[in-house]
Amino acid sequence: MKAFSENITPDSFSGALFAVEGIRDSCTVLNGPTGCKFYHSAISESQFQRNFGGDPMVFRSEFHFGMPRIPATYLDGNDYVFSSREKLERLLRLVSGQGHGIIAVINSPGAALIGDDLGSFLEQTVRDVPWFALETAGFSGTFGGGYQKALIGAVDALAGAGLPRLPRTVNLLGLGIYQKHYEGNYAALKRLLGLCGIEVLAAPGAGDDAASFARLSQAALNVVLYPEYAAALAEKLRADYGTPALAGEEGPPLGFDSTEGLLRQICAALDADPAPALLRIEEARAQAYRHLARLSVLLGFPKGTLFSVKAEASTAYALTKWLSSYLGMIPAAITLNDEGETPFVPRLKAYLDSIHRGAALTSSIITTPCHVLLGDANSIAALRLEGQRFCGIEIAMPSLSYTDITEKSLFGEQGALFLLEQIINGLRYVIP
């Protein structure tokens, strides 16, 4: 029987809200009841802080409810019958003069049933600010579907066609604020690509401002880090601007091998030299080896220990292949986020079959014993409720209450070392 806590997953509505919230100077207007606002406002502010003073009275308007993010129209029964127009127009007049780079109005699933013409409200109320509206983010669709739908709306509103193509430049697609350590991941890729003489122009939805969308058309290549969150966006940019797209054959750059593979692919496509970045990764490999060799001799692990993963297919593939081939760990259970069929689903199945662990894909991460679980906080908490002795490593949102003060990364050579550090230290408290 499936554990109830495995069902807690964000949908397309959440994906659309977090996509717009990932634009630095955006204003995401939620046309819906207050219950749809608070979680998204709180998570956006915790991941991408705007109100540094922490004083809720700064945001005391009737639409903000003391929170700096996602003003909402707090729809009630009368609004569902007689239209949300009056509240929405008052809210838009409030935010349109606040210096935002883009304003987006997103209907909650219930508000989408009213039938209001959001575009006409925006057109009549908002002046001199780019805007777009989502009548619906997709009823019970995937997070990635809503995420890309919103970013495509932003691309249409902020298009920069006709700008010259810049050699050895890339856009990073698939990053977003609803990802663990997204800022560190973005910085890690910028640094490694910079060593290769490649400039990152933008990563839509990962903290860049609205002006960065105008630069999207200038990139020589779009790098798809997560097909679950970027395949449709990459196709949109190809159709509009003719920009080719490249997806990492080994998934996102989690671990040494997938990081090296992605850098080689990008450099080959742009005729750049990967050697400086590969040298940095080789130095990190040497650093890891010194600790792993000593640990293996003295305690025997991490080889032979069991791990489980809860993630999208691309992440699960990259982590499973790295942990099993590099560390000799054994996959116990793997649960994939519901993001539809991507190329990494069959790749993951084939790889697990090749190491005779195909059953891991049908095993529950909640009831299957493991030594290490890599996933979101809900999954880690659910496994703890089962009374299992294991090490939980957060690689995805939602998060527990740990406050990250120093910048961390899961990507690149430093991300590989960070994951190794957590695995090694976690196993010390798990294995008697």
- Most confident range, picked from 9-13, 64-68, 242-246: 242-246
Give bridge partners of residue 28 from the DSSP assignment: 104
Residue type, 217: S
Residue 61 · residue 95 · CB < 8 Å: no
Whether pLDDT at 89 is above 50? yes
Count Cβ atoms within 10 A of the Cβ of residue 173 and give its class: 0-12 exposed, 13-18 middle, 19 or more buried: buried
Nearby residues of 46 by Cβ (< 8 Å), 6 or more positions away: none
Gap between the Cα atoms of 188 and 287, Å rounded: 18
pLDDT per position as a tens digit, 192-218: 999 999 999 999 999 999 999 999 999
pLDDT per position as a tens digit, 75-86: 999 989 888 999
Whether pLDDT at 1 is above 50? no
Whether pLDDT at 7 is above 80? no
- Tokens representing residue 212 in the block: 């960065």
Neighbours of 365 (CB within 10 A): 23
Nearest Cα neighbor of 397 from 4, 18, 13, 12 is: 18
Q: What is the mean pLDDT of residues 379-408?
A: 91
pLDDT over 70 percentage in the chain: 97
- Our measurement of the distance from residue 246's CA atom to the centroid of its chain's CA atoms, rounded to an integer in Å, reads 18
Query: Sorting pLDDT into bands at 50, 70 and 90, what band is 383?
Result: very high
- Tokens representing residue 210 in the block: 């609205």
Q: What is the mean pLDDT of residues 171-190?
A: 98
pLDDT per position as a tens digit, 305-353: 999 999 999 999 999 999 999 999 999 999 999 888 889 999 999 999 9
Of 51-65, 85-99, 311-325, give the lowest mean pLDDT range: 51-65
Residue 59 · residue 66 · CB < 8 Å: yes
* Distance set, CA 393 to CA 72, 159, 176, 180, 371 (Å): 34, 39, 20, 11, 11
pLDDT per position as a tens digit, 152-163: 999 999 987 778
Residue 92 · residue 68 · CB < 8 Å: no
Task: Please name each of the domains of the chain with its CATH number.
Answer: 10-157 (3.40.50.1980), 169-277 (3.40.50.1980), 288-428 (3.40.50.1980)
What pLDDT score does 56 carry? 65
What pLDDT score does 217 carry? 95
Residue 147 · residue 18 · CB < 8 Å: yes
pLDDT over 90 percentage in the chain: 80
Residue 224 · residue 246 · CB < 8 Å: yes
What pLDDT score does 4 carry? 47
Q: Please, what is the average pLDDT of the chain?
A: 93
186 vs 6: which has the higher pLDDT: 186
